[in-house]
Amino acid sequence: MPADAASQANIELIRKSDPAIADLIAAEAGRQETTLELIASENHVSSAVMHAMGTCLTNKYAEGYPGARYYGGCEFHDRIEQTAIDRACRLFGAKFANVQPHSGAQANMAAMMATLNPGDSFASLVLKDGGHLSHGMKINFSGIFYKPVHYPLHYDKAHPELERIDYDAAMKVCMEHRPKLIMCGYSAYPRIIDFKRFREIADACGALLMADIAHIAGLVAAGVHPSPFPHAHIVTTTTHKTLRGPRGGLIMTGDEDLARKINKSLFPGVQGGPLMHIIAAKAVAFGEALRPEFKDYARRVVVNARALAAGLGKRGYRITSGGTDNHLMLVDLRTKSEELTGQDAETWLGTAGIVCNKNGIPDDPRPPKFTSGVRLGSPAVTTRGLGEPEMDVVAAWIDKVLTARGDAGVCEGVRREVGGMCAKFPMPG
């Protein structure tokens, strides 16, 4: 059961009508409560964000935008959506925001539709180097309708400090292919992104710059990572990762003409009715992120990620690029044991109550199903209140489980200790 009384009451209410689903929700709440969430893209929302989602706002159609809807009865929805827009603009220093995307991928789709025609080319980092499915993967709309060209990540195991975006190589690729749009912002990149440098590349080749800050949005909002504004023409993000809001997307720009095109491409181009209960929860989350406590949270996210990376480094694990500047790290497991795969590590750590995902590392010789690495992130455990001393304990547990190659007894022992730590740091919501 969740620790939050309102969430418990919710489950009991659902149980009266649907005990099967109530049991499953309670079981999932128990799983989250008693395990450590190290998936870099996940977080635990506040009680206010959680309960804004479970409201009567879900009953309403509000196609259109504030003041220009296709349905009656939208007076409160207009005010809720406008509040979300105003708060997003304040938080990120944007002039225009669209808070309707159901997800980050749909935000990207709308941004691309607003700036590209089918068949146009855009530049991005390929998924296996840390990019995203919606940044040009062949089986995704972005690779089906548009022509991606990829700029490289610099690979150098002997000099991990160089495993970063190669801006000179990106300039060369973009000057050669002259894409209409350059995408930066990644799903598995542990270093600061130089948005100013990307804008110089975009200006040189005559492209627009789009920053997908889905992973680092909370860090950007808190000033812990440099802002893509004023460099990027368009900024997309999810709202549920470091930003700690409900599951959803957001698009921002400083350009009025682009804002008009984005609004049109999102609705009616990509989506129909907005999820107004989610938009209300976005407004609540943006309000929380505007408070001083959120700055402190984001700062602690980075401190904790560095502490976890250091804890693993001193136990013999190579952290790609030599460390982290943000909330995540990629751990090269081969430095501990050549046979260890990300798939094994994910399974064994999961058994021990430490939840993470296998992830390719730069120039990974193994396929995505196995990988040679895991991606670890600090946003969710930082929300629970874990600090630097606990991150070292977590590193020691990870090492214990992996050194024992998932031995059942070792996993069981660690699982118990993880449970003890989780009980000391209850999750909100």
Degrees, nearest 5: CA angle 295-300-161:
110
Give the whole-angstrom CA distance, residue 96 versus residue 287: 17
Give the whole-angstrom CA distance, residue 68 versus residue 81: 12
Q: Considering only CA atoms, which of 58, 142, 147 is closest in space to residue 105?
A: 142
Nearer to ligand DSN, 130 or 287 (CB): 130
- Positions in 275-314 near ligand DSN (CB under 6 A): none
The answer to whether residue 41 forms part of the interface with ligand DSN (CB under 6 A) is yes
Give the whole-angstrom CA distance, residue 165 versus residue 200: 15
Nearer to ligand DSN, 104 or 362 (CB): 104
The answer to whether residue 104 forms part of the interface with ligand DSN (CB under 6 A) is yes
Coil, helix or strand at residue 232: coil
> Hey, CA dihedral for 152, 153, 159, 161, is it positive or negative?
positive
Q: Which residues are catalytic?
A: 61, 63, 212, 238, 241, 247
Per-residue b or e along 65-78, where b marks 16 or more CB atoms closer than 10 Å to that residue's CB: bbeebeeeebeebb
The closest residue (CB) to ligand DSN is 41
Minimum CB distance to ligand DSN, residue 375 (Å): 8
The answer to whether residue 242 forms part of the interface with ligand DSN (CB under 6 A) is no
The answer to whether residue 187 forms part of the interface with ligand DSN (CB under 6 A) is yes
124: enclosing H helix or E strand: strand 121-124
Nearer to ligand DSN, 2 or 130 (CB): 130
Minimum CB distance to ligand DSN, residue 140 (Å): 11
**What binding mask, one character per residue, do residues 130-149 give for ligand DSN by CB under 6 A, x or -?**
--x-----------------
Nearer to ligand DSN, 179 or 185 (CB): 185
Non-local CB neighbours of 297 within 8 Å, separated by 6+ positions: 218, 222, 244, 382, 383
The answer to whether residue 342 forms part of the interface with ligand DSN (CB under 6 A) is no
The answer to whether residue 106 forms part of the interface with ligand DSN (CB under 6 A) is no
Minimum CB distance to ligand DSN, residue 41 (Å): 3
- Are the C-beta atoms of 43 and 327 separated by less than 8 Å? no
Is the peptide bond prior to 428 cis by the omega test (within 30 degrees of 0)? no
Minimum CB distance to ligand DSN, residue 369 (Å): 16
Per-residue b or e along 368-393, where b marks 16 or more CB atoms closer than 10 Å to that residue's CB: eeebbbbbbbbbbbbbbebeeebbbe
Cα–chain center distance at 85: 20
Minimum CB distance to ligand DSN, residue 251 (Å): 15
Nearer to ligand DSN, 132 or 164 (CB): 132
Q: Considering only CA atoms, which of 304, 319, 131, 128 is closest in space to residue 214?
A: 131
Residue 409: other Cβ atoms inside 10 A: 8
Minimum CB distance to ligand DSN, residue 124 (Å): 14
Nearer to ligand DSN, 105 or 173 (CB): 105
**What binding mask, one character per residue, do residues 60-89 give for ligand DSN by CB under 6 A, x or -?**
------------------------------
Decide the pairing of beta strands 181-184 and 121-124.
parallel
Nearer to ligand DSN, 137 or 232 (CB): 137
The answer to whether residue 239 forms part of the interface with ligand DSN (CB under 6 A) is no
- Are the C-beta atoms of 345 and 333 separated by less than 8 Å? yes
Total number of residues that touch ligand DSN (CB under 6 A): 4
Nearer to ligand DSN, 173 or 216 (CB): 216
- Are the C-beta atoms of 274 and 66 separated by less than 8 Å? no
> Hey, CA dihedral for 116, 120, 121, 124, is it positive or negative?
positive
The footprint of ligand DSN (CB under 6 A) covers: 41, 104, 132, 187
